[in-house]
Structure 1
């Protein structure tokens, strides 16, 4: 099997510590090149060295490399769209950190540009065995019809020099931890909410939020997320006959997963052995490339997520409930 050769745009500590090692450990995948901003080759070389990867001075140089099959985009939020489009134009498959885009319109642009290439938003938790098991339990009908999703992701974050707090780069809690929190009810219900309402605590950017979503027919979601309090990382599905709780939803690669199922028949815990979500994500993306199939986190799902993120931001800005327009 020919290996999938990866290039990386953006040499951050998170990428060098979590993402690249996972790609390197996943069979059939090779970290082939790392690109830095012009003049920052020394920093990129430090990231590339453990993997024997080439270093390109500038992102365009990496995209011109004929020996790169797929690109991981780890740039600030506002740079995801232009560099995803340029990567697709260069004939590269793309795995881009969330958020893929800050608007539904830009997600649609990316989907149209992809043609026969694979493009996927990096919601790595969707590929973790704990998440897979939670989805299986929900689909089994053991807790009856799903009525309420509760989701929370929060951790206090240092502000000094942190791009998460730069409004010019698409910073703020909504497009960081919030993406995960409101992604959960979207896939769980498999639908768009009809209405959303959000309240933000903000300074230059939103730092915390509490939000509700109305999916109709008595189905709702309640979520909170924050860059200023925590830690908290959990979600719960409440059905007509019981609940499923995931208490460490965005678990580390050395932490066992823990799912609790409560029904009228009793309570049970299921332990999911520790696993690296980034490895599972890499394997799934590579399979989508080789099999030429739509990935689990599809461009259509990304457009839905961006659409909801836009609505939450609009609700917080106006102080009013926002009704989402129906898509054609």
Structure 2
């Protein structure tokens, strides 16, 4: 077996719901990576999670996992306000890092990762970008077959009922934008293959200080606009609609695709409202978390696969900064990185 074919050895920081329900099952099915260690602040909890997924090692501290020389890559599934700190510590320990979204609550926080070894892979964990459907969507848009994309719109919401969820706490990076808006903003940037110039945002916050509803307009220039709404206080919704010069493209179940039914891209090329000429492109049901950890593992081994590094994460955080600044001021805010 060549070095390229040896599965990447992963450590999991945090016994979180997403680690338990998504990342560890994805690694269990991946031929490119395998989990070898789990860490939590409670060793019993770490051992319970490790045993449930057949992982050999369990640690009662995050530091102990980072000292493990067998671990090559670390997944960070901690609450939002801890992401950058532990990404920095993992990189300092020589580990590749897949950090759960949002990678940082503010763009300036990424300065903590300045000077890390450029050989290390560090990526924000937007699993949707590893769907074959999303990859094909970008190929379609870049081909120019239907002309340039001009408008993007998206809805993403669910009704959060757990009062103890960290997403209810502003100091932990709670709220609709950090949990859901980072996805929709990323999707707009992905579709236009560009960064927005300015932002206009409206947020409705609850008495605890988190945004329950956020509506955002991103201006990409050259007549390209993105609009999206995210919420933690309304029924489940997830959609993406893109209007190109010669086609209307829809992604049903855009962010959480079916694991049992085909996933679709719908392309309507009708020239008038009274008719429809819809082409349907089907993709097999999939586990997008398996695709995410597989692609990240393959990128570590030097393969040419979809990979989004720190520059992309910084750009996304700069958009988030502008969104919150606009919501505070009620005005358009230019997007500025660091």
TM-score of Structure 1 vs Structure 2, range by shorter chain: over 0.9
Deviation, 1:293, is: 7.1
Name 1:205's counterpart in structure 2: 210
Give the Cα separation in 2 of the matches to 1:90 and 1:252.
37
Summarize the Cα distance change of 1:241–1:293 in structure 2 as closer, same or farther, 3 Å threshold: closer
Summarize the Cα distance change of 1:236–1:114 in structure 2 as closer, same or farther, 3 Å threshold: farther
Name 2:316's counterpart in structure 1: 305
Contact 1:241 1:263 in 2 (8 A): yes
1:146 partnered with 2:157: no
Name 2:8's counterpart in structure 1: 4
1:237 partnered with 2:242: yes
| Greater alpha carbon shift after TM alignment, 309-318 vs 262-271 | 262-271
Summarize the Cα distance change of 1:294–1:80 in structure 2 as closer, same or farther, 3 Å threshold: farther
Encode CA deviations 1:125-146: one digit per residue, 9 max, x unaligned: 0001121122222223232111
Give the Cα separation in 1 of the matches to 2:293 and 2:200.
35
Deviation, 1:230, is: 2.5
TM-score scaled by length of structure 2: 0.92
1:66 partnered with 2:72: no
Query: What is the SS of the residue equivalent to 1:192?
Result: coil
Summarize the Cα distance change of 1:158–1:271 in structure 2 as closer, same or farther, 3 Å threshold: same
Contact 2:47 2:59 in 1 (8 A): no
Name 1:20's counterpart in structure 2: 24
Give the Cα separation in 2 of the matches to 1:161 and 1:252.
28
Contact 1:120 1:295 in 2 (8 A): no
Name 1:280's counterpart in structure 2: 291
1:31 partnered with 2:31: no
Q: 1:118 aligns with which of 117, 121, 139?
A: 121
Give the Cα separation in 2 of the matches to 1:20 and 1:111.
29
Aligned residue pairs, count: 325
TM-score scaled by length of structure 1: 0.94
Stretches of 4+ moved more than 4 A in 1?
Answer: 292-295
Give the Cα separation in 2 of the matches to 1:293 and 1:258.
25
| Greater alpha carbon shift after TM alignment, 227-236 vs 285-294 | 285-294
Unaligned runs of 5+ in 1: none
Give the Cα separation in 2 of the matches to 1:127 and 1:108.
27
Deviation, 1:225, is: 0.7
Name 2:269's counterpart in structure 1: 263
Deviation, 1:292, is: 7.4
Query: What is the SS of the residue equivalent to 1:296?
Result: coil
Q: 2:219 aligns with which of 214, 223, 229?
A: 214
Deviation, 1:111, is: 5.5
Unaligned runs of 5+ in 2: 272-276
Contact 2:158 2:237 in 1 (8 A): yes
Name 1:227's counterpart in structure 2: 232
Query: What is the SS of the residue equivalent to 2:142?
Result: helix
Query: What is the SS of the residue equivalent to 1:291?
Result: coil
| Greater alpha carbon shift after TM alignment, 292-301 vs 89-98 | 292-301
Summarize the Cα distance change of 1:297–1:111 in structure 2 as closer, same or farther, 3 Å threshold: farther
Encode CA deviations 1:97-153: one digit per residue, 9 max, x unaligned: 011112222235425324211111100000011211222222232321111011221
Give the Cα separation in 2 of the matches to 1:175 and 1:200.
12
Encode CA deviations 1:180-239: one digit per residue, 9 max, x unaligned: 111111122122211110101111201111111111111110111111113111111111
Q: 2:59 aligns with which of 44, 51, 56?
A: 56
Give the Cα separation in 1 of the matches to 2:32 and 2:217.
42
Encode CA deviations 1:74-108: one digit per residue, 9 max, x unaligned: 00101001100000000111111011112222235
Give the Cα separation in 1 of the matches to 2:153 and 2:186.
11
